[in-house]
Amino acid sequence: MKLPLIPVAVGAIVAASLASSVVRRIVRSIARRKNYAQATMEYQDKLKRRAEVFFSSDKSPASHREEYELLLDAYEIAINGIERMPKRSKGEKELLLQMLSDEKKLLKLYY
């Protein structure tokens, strides 16, 4: 008895399509994670440059209270974003520690 080729071919096409879909999702997920990590590092650099202004005594937190508070809020949001990540790479863990350290230095300037 010969098996019809059409159902077998359709099954193979469906299986290949599903496998392709899974691979695309995995690739997108990896790309998103790399993009997120890159964006997080760029944002941290931006925050660090803003904090350096306060660290270098060019500005005092008391005289620039609003800017200081916004910077602390930005640090808190960025830190919470990294802490909520279910899995963190070594680089993300180091970034988190650096951001926590910078936030602590900022808090010592005023409080």
Residue 4 inside a domain? The answer is no
Q: How many CB atoms lie within 10 A of CB 64?
A: 15
The reply to whether 97 falls in a domain is: yes
3-class secondary-structure state, position 85: coil
Written as one string, the DSSP assignment of 56-73 is TTSS-TTTTHHHHHHHHH
pLDDT digit string, tens, across residues 38-96: 777 788 888 888 888 877 876 666 777 888 888 888 889 888 888 888 888 888 888 88
Q: Is 31 a domain residue?
A: no
**Does residue 55 fall inside a structural domain?**
yes
Residue 45 located in a structural domain: yes
CB 79 within 8 A of CB 100: yes
Domain contains 3: no
Domain that holds residue 55: 37-111
Rounded Cα distance between 71 and 50, Å, is 8
Instruction: Note the pLDDT tens digit of each residue in 14-33.
Output: 455 555 666 667 667 666 77
First to last CA, the chain: 85
51 inside domain: yes
Q: Percent of the chain having pLDDT more than 70?
A: 68
- For the question of whether the overall pTM of this predicted structure is more than 0.85, the answer is no
Domain count, the chain: 1
